[in-house]
Structure 1
Amino acid sequence: MRIWLVSWFFFNLYIVTFFSIATLSVSGQCQSDQQELLLGFKNSLNSSLSEKLGKWNQDRDCCSWGGITCDASGRVIGLDLNNQSISGEINNSNSLFRLQHLQQLNLAYNTFISEFPSWFGNLTNLSYLNLSNAGFSGRIPVGISYLTKLVTLDLSSSLFTGLLLKLEKPDLKILVQNLTGLKNLYLDGIHISSNGKEWSQALSSSLPNLQVLSVTVSAIGSLGH
């Protein structure tokens, strides 16, 4: 009886260990299409000075690459390339916008010298988006308002860069009208065409969960009225 119990114990231990290893193996395996999209994104840019991108290698599981977070199915849900000295243009055809499972995206403090791409609005699973001082200019596209799962949105732009981001068409009211879950909003350095009364009413009526708001006063088109 004792021998049978010992055998049963080791049999169960083997089964648990086997399935644990199998589970870890599956969760650590990057899906091939995700890797191709990431490499396409890298190859479209000048990343020679980037510590993270420089180590992205197709011979390694992309879930182990610097700045990448994957879910248990090997889908990319996080991309953090903050302050990586990356330059170049990101347009609407970039493979970045086909990473449909992204939940967190941080491209802050790089030099993507291009108009603000409208296709950020395709990444509808994002809860965190940080594009502060990323080098984008021009009008902030209405597509940002489609990101209804956002909790944190940072579009701040330093006044010293000479690049101007504008909230005109769409204005602030349209931008935030669907972002009801937003808790943190950073708009420093952005030219906001709405006057003070309009943008304050837009924020109070559309963002019931807002906890942090950062807006440079000089960036607001008009504080009068």
Structure 2
Amino acid sequence: MELINYTRLTPTLGGSFSNGWQVMKSYFLYLLLVVVVIGMVNGPGGFKVDADSGAFGFIHGIPLKPDNLFVTVGTIFLVLFGFAYYFLLVPVFNYSAKLIYIDAVREKEIELQKLIAGFSNYLNVILANLLKSALVVMGFLFFIIPGIIIACRLAFVSYLVMDKNLDPMQAIEQSWKLTRGIGWTIFGMAILSVFIFILGLMMLIIGVFPALIWIHSSFASIYQAALNRQEGLIEY
């Protein structure tokens, strides 16, 4: 099976994953490098709760307990650095990667330098990510379901910021329009993606790499399909 002409893609779960699979096969080495780089960017630092150890969280493996959280300036700096890193740097690379997946879906030549393309649109990337995150969190505070709905309807924000160079408000509005009628399809893709990722973990962990490539390629496919529908290239 060959790649579907991207102008003929339809926003369906099966069609998106089918095309995503073909995209992965056609651009595997390039997209593998993208996954590795993004994994490295997302890997260092972080904040989590560890109930077993009794720790409040970890920043680069340093335990932060309530009784010593503010003991040293160094610890405070690491906490602030962790938050700054994940809110002011990581989104730039994550958004940039979306552009590469879109190019793959459109059968364009892959330009790995686009992994830093987000820096040329830095303010819009950061503000869009913060606004989207805030809306989703507020939605989850209202009995979870609104959060799921908002997350699905704003699934294309990152693509629109990078692909169409929209500002945060425009990207939010346009994503809401593009996902009209396919919100549950996107939700279904998210659920299926969890199982694909778990299957990748079961394959001696290395299966995670093709799993992530397939998932991201599939979401880029449904984004393109939604554009096709909006532009009247297909009937749906």
Q: TM-score range by the shorter chain?
A: under 0.3
TM-score normalised by L of structure 1? 0.22
- Structure with bigger strand share is 1
Q: Which structure would you say has the larger RCO, counting Cα contacts within 8 Å and 6 or more residues apart?
A: 2
Which is greater in Rg? 1
- Structure with bigger helix share is 2
TM-score normalised by L of structure 2? 0.21
